[in-house]
Amino acid sequence: MASEVSSSYSRRAAEYAERLGSMTAVHPSDVHLVSTWAAGVEGPLLDAGCGPGHWTAYLRELGHDARGVDQVAGFIEHARASHPSAPFAIGNVDALDDPADSYGGVLAWYSLIHHEPETIRRPLEEFARVLRPGGRLLVGFFVADNVKPLDHAVVAAYQWSSAVLGKELIAAGFDVEETHTRTASAPNPRPHGAILARLRPAG
């Protein structure tokens, strides 16, 4: 599945970047949510599964020490060309190259939607590893009343209920602090969800 996600996005990276790779394509309430969340983070930020890199660049414009990582080389090339002053790296959210305690915050904005439900614990535990004690995680996802497959333009994806995803976060070492949902209008009427979580102190 992971290699299928990578190859499918590789084929469509330019199209995705053209359609969705700028902050003008982001819903204003999402911009507000992420900006407000980031303002409460102390320390560097990781944009995990950054795609074309627009969130990384935006967070840096806000003054945050943000970097982006994505498994798709085409996205990282695009991100570096579009935002030359921002740091981007090819990497896998299931096994990040960063040492433990590297970040104050991790943004996983729709980047876990392609994980099969039984594999989502892996990146969440990886985020817990690279976050500093008390570090903050923001996950954006498509929300539903349960976990179920989603008709996605690029490759197989899943919708999650906030409750089930919250349990995965708790199991990975986080406390859930806030849950948000919003509906959207045509042409993409899928409900959107976001969970803000904080790494539970050890012990």
Binding residues for ligand SAM (CB under 6 A)? 2, 5, 9, 20, 49-51, 55, 70-72, 75, 92-94, 109-111, 113-114
**Judged by CB, which is closer to ligand SAM: 5, or 197?**
5
- Shortest Å, Cβ 133 to ligand SAM: 24
CB nearest ligand SAM: which residue?
A: 51
The span from the CA of 110 to the CA of 9, in Å, is 13
- Shortest Å, Cβ 20 to ligand SAM: 5
- Shortest Å, Cβ 86 to ligand SAM: 14
Contact between 50 and 79 under an 8 Å Cβ cutoff? The reply is yes
**Judged by CB, which is closer to ligand SAM: 134, or 149?**
149
**Judged by CB, which is closer to ligand SAM: 94, or 177?**
94
Q: Which residues, at least 6 apart from 84, have a Cβ–Cβ distance to it below 8 Å?
A: none
Which of 153, 139, 147, 140 lies closest to 5 in space, CA to CA? Answer: 153
**Judged by CB, which is closer to ligand SAM: 92, or 179?**
92
Contacts 24+ apart (CB under 8 A), 141-147: 141/110, 141/112, 141/113, 141/165, 141/192, 141/193, 141/194, 141/195, 142/110, 142/113, 142/190, 142/191, 142/192, 142/193, 143/181, 143/191, 143/192, 143/193, 144/191, 147/117
**Judged by CB, which is closer to ligand SAM: 9, or 37?**
9
- Shortest Å, Cβ 25 to ligand SAM: 8
- Shortest Å, Cβ 159 to ligand SAM: 13
